[in-house]
Structure 1
């Protein structure tokens, strides 16, 4: 597990092996994106083995899952083909540390965190992420977050992170980590300070109700957000901002920007020999 730790700013499917893990009937923990833990929580309603066996659910506070296009753009910028890559590290060797590409012939290239992520319009996150009510790890026992004033680093720091402890299970896990010397706690952070540390999360959560209204107006199904305060927080936007979010979502939906072709199975493809 330690060998595979580290940030991954691209598509992941951490629940892909859930079935075999449940079949082993042994205790396990899940470290995943907030949306994955939301799915796990929903699945637990139909499979009691999840709650019986899952001893901890840990998440990052997520700004969205970038498409692979973002990583491909980095390779194109430095003139490296995918099959030449021996290492693609998104963060690390510092906090946040650089994005680093190494090649099989010994070349290396780096981009700073701000070069990669300062412009939110260039994050290239999946459409689903723009409608995510779980981004703060609301189904997790513990969610870990970057804690940069204003939401972005000014350089490398000493590796501080914020944690949101949401459940008694999370409290017990933090307490045991502190007692074992694996975790050193700093000062408390209250929710309103987190607003300043994760401002894009505030903006998105306040916009969700209007975005869902735009989807509904376009005839696209939305999701159940019971208990996630979406309508309550949506009322914090002024009427002009709510209308702008709804109209923008409707326009994008009408333009087909929220849909993509379904993958075709071999039997659906045209017969070249017909």
Structure 2
């Protein structure tokens, strides 16, 4: 019996248990993704073009919902600001990747030299997501210190602020006018791949030590604090991850639609 206890407490056993848990989470995420792949493959092979376009929009919504779950589902805090990160991701790639000839028509007076800058779609997406991550980290410093209705109101305020920037910084975002000319480089196969990656990532976070501790702190903040769980750090972590996933949804939407406008990233 003493040998069994020693084996249970040994570092090698703990590592093995951790790997087993990781494998279970990975398999669970992949199993959850199976219906997404089945539907996507059916549409890709049998549906007409119009339904393919509808499926692309549905997959974007799926990614946004999964992004919301990462924060809301684990922290039990309602988030109304997710559309801001979707919009930041979409406008980020629009500003960086739109061909120069189209920029002369859409944003000829863009500041910081953006009117004469054109990057490839991959670099544009990475920079846009970095920008989303920075905004999420800054806003998350506030969100993570709040809970309940107060945090929800702040997330709503973030959405209103970002939307106001989209509307009023016309030299960069074109205001109410549509931003057109974005390269259409994402089709249904890539959308399916990213959907699976996001679902698996959300499952891994949910089943991780951080996800478990975050859910525990949401259920009983006092007990979690007594056990030394840093709820603020965990909320910030899930907020940034959630924002990056929503930002990715915006990037993918811009790359398949080719045209965006501020009204797409507001309450509607």
For this structure pair, what is the TM-score category when the shorter chain's length is used for normalisation? under 0.3
Q: Which of the pair is proportionally richer in helix?
A: 2
Q: Which of the pair is proportionally richer in strand?
A: 1
Q: Which has the higher contact order (CA 8 A, sep 6+)?
A: 2
TM-score normalized with structure 2 length: 0.24
